[in-house]
Amino acid sequence: MSVAPGTDGVLVDRYGRVARDLRVSLTDKCNLRCTYCMPAEGLPWLAGPELLTDEEIVRLVRVAVELLGVTEVRFTGGEPLIRSGLVDIVTAVAALQPRPRVSLTTNGIGLDRLAPALRTAGLDRVNVSLDTLDPARFTELTRRPRLDAVLAGLAGAAAAGLSPVKINSVLMRGVNEDEAPALLRFALDHDYQLRIIEQMPLDAQHGWARDTMVTAKEILASLRTVFDLSPDPAERGAAPAETWLVDGGPARVGVIASVTRPFCGDCDRTRLTADGQVRACLFATEESDLRAALRSGVDDDELARRWRTAMWGKRAGHGIDDPTFLQPTRPMSAIGG
């Protein structure tokens, strides 16, 4: 960037948006092989030296919280539960001042065992990915017969007090588009919060197509075959989900329409990949390398300056509807959801 931001202390971009929500990918590896994320054989994983160490992750998060005004930290992957140092990382981040709110996005496998330790460490809540309640369909979608483990993870998170427990679901045409009502009924019965997400072009195979995506309009129409939905009067703010009261409330369901109803104008996110790259947008085609700077010995102020410069260049929108849109070269497993 040839033009540096003029505002110190926050991650502001040229459109006046301020990033206060940091998404941190802890690993590119995953113990599932979801068809919309990666091929059956997996992907070439990052070599160990390329990954940030636990200490480097904590230092960069501290810079974000103490020097750049970040108030929310979400750990993602790949699958963050397979990172051996996860509990220690959460402990260190939850101890920062001012204390950020700390959450985790996971596929839920092993969460029943780790949830108590994560809660003690300071984790506030979790989002668990679950696209189907049918065991055979789950195996087809993820190429692993692990639905029972995911359901156990959800229950374990709730028992540990990691609330609200949110479920993230992606509907795909011809695969699971009929399951929206069943997923919502399951969430209501267990006091979970459901978020249904439009499928985005982040698959490693680059097989996403706009005309095969299940849209927010279709999702809501499906839910309304069983439930009465009314607009949520609560202010949405920068939240990605548009929420609806279910049968008059207080239960709610959210729909994240990243493609058909983009919310880029209110985006407050910044992203750090497992190998130390800052991404101003999930769909960015450029990254800014903080790992090299960190390992070269620069101080925290310089790391903060480089992070601010990276965010200053954030685009106005993700550009999915632009004919010149280029899908990110790195799949979602490498850059964090």
Is 269 assigned to a binding site?
A: yes
Q: What is the DSSP string of 223-278?
A: HTTTS-EEE--S--TT-S-EEEEETTSS-EEEEE-TTTS--GGG--EEEE-TTSEE
Largest CA distance in the chain: 59
Q: Is 306 annotated as a binding residue?
A: no
- 281 labeled part of a ligand binding site: yes
- Residue 222 among known ligand-binding residues: no
Quote the CA–CA distance of 98 and 73 in Å, as a whole number. 12
According to the annotation, is 270 in a ligand binding site? yes
| Cβ atoms 275, 292 nearer than 8 A | no
Q: What are phi and psi of 288, to 5 degrees?
A: -120, 125
Residue 108 known to bind ligand? no
- Does the annotation flag 236 for ligand binding? no
C-alpha to C-alpha distance for 193 and 332, rounded to whole angstroms:
23
Amino acid (1-letter code) at residue 45:
W
Query: Do residues 247 and 228 touch, judged by C-beta distance below 8 A?
Result: yes
Say if residue 200 carries a ligand binding annotation: yes
Q: Is the dihedral of CA 296, 300, 302, 303 positive or negative?
A: positive
Q: In this structure, are residues 184 and 223 in contact, taking their beta carbons and an 8 Å threshold?
A: yes
Distance set, CA 271 to CA 33, 152, 164, 170, 281 (Å): 23, 29, 23, 21, 7
Say if residue 267 carries a ligand binding annotation.
yes
Class of residue 12 by CB neighbours under 10 A (exposed 0-12, middle 13-18, buried 19+): buried
Residue 315 marked as a ligand binder: no
List the alpha helices (DSSP H) in the chain. 54-68, 86-94, 111-121, 135-142, 147-160, 180-190, 216-223, 290-295, 300-312, 332-335
321 with 304: CB under 8 angstroms?
no
192 is in an annotated binding site: no
213 assigned ligand-binding residue: no
38 is in an annotated binding site: no
The response to whether 139 counts as a known ligand-binding position is no
Nearest 5 degrees, angle CA 54-CA 60-CA 64?
140
- Tell me if 23 is assigned to a ligand binding site: yes
Looking only at the bridges linking them, the beta strands covering 166-170 and 242-246 are: unpaired
Q: 156 labelled as ligand-binding?
A: no
Q: Is 99 annotated as a binding residue?
A: no
Give the annotated binding-site residues for S-adenosyl-L-methionine: 36, 78, 129, 200
* Residue numbers belonging to the annotated binding site for [4Fe-4S] cluster: 30, 34, 37, 264, 267, 281
Binding-site residue set for GTP: 23, 74, 105, 166, 269-271
Q: From the annotation, which residues make up the binding site?
A: 23, 30, 34, 36-37, 74, 78, 105, 129, 166, 200, 264, 267, 269-271, 281
